Amino acid sequence: EVQLVESGGNLVQPGRSLRLSCTTSGFSFGDYPMSWVRQAPGKGLEWVGFVRSKGYDGTMEYAASVKGRFTISTDDSNSIVYLQMNRLKTEDTAMYYCTRGLYIGGYYPIPFDFWGRGTLVTVSS
């Protein structure tokens, strides 16, 4: 059974950093693209970024709103994907979801076939 479990969400002050983790199981981690998608309270979905599978080239892409501040990385040995968030802003407040791309070795991260339950990040002074 495919499982994605996010952790690390917290209340943090503007300008500070936070690292989210997504622990996965039930599939061959290195074969699939992995994304982060966020949802501000009462708002819609926003794609944050993704990492291509190691089988493709392992590169990352980011949304313009987080590029240069957020970094995605992986721990392949433990099947974990991270989202390092620096210079946090109040507008980064959201539920952060970890998602898996449907296609093995896909160049694009979509569609997202499995989602975690999310971890809440609140940026406030």
Which positions touch other proteins (CB under 8 A)? 35, 37, 44-47, 50, 61-64, 97, 102, 108-118
Q: How far is the CB of 104 from other proteins (least distance, A)?
A: 14
Calpha distance 42→47 (Å, rounded)? 16
Please count the other Cβ atoms lying within 10 Å of the Cβ belonging to residue 95: 18
Nearer to other proteins, 14 or 108 (CB): 108
DSSP 1: -
**C-alpha span between 120 and 21 (Å, rounded):** 12
Minimum CB separation from other proteins for residue 125, in Å? 27
Query: 29 — alpha (psi -120 to 50), left (phi > 0) or beta?
Result: alpha
Nearer to other proteins, 13 or 25 (CB): 25
Q: Which is nearer to other proteins, 16 or 117 (CB)?
A: 117
Query: Rounded to the nearest whole angstrom, what is the least distance from the CB of residue 13 to other proteins in the complex?
Result: 27
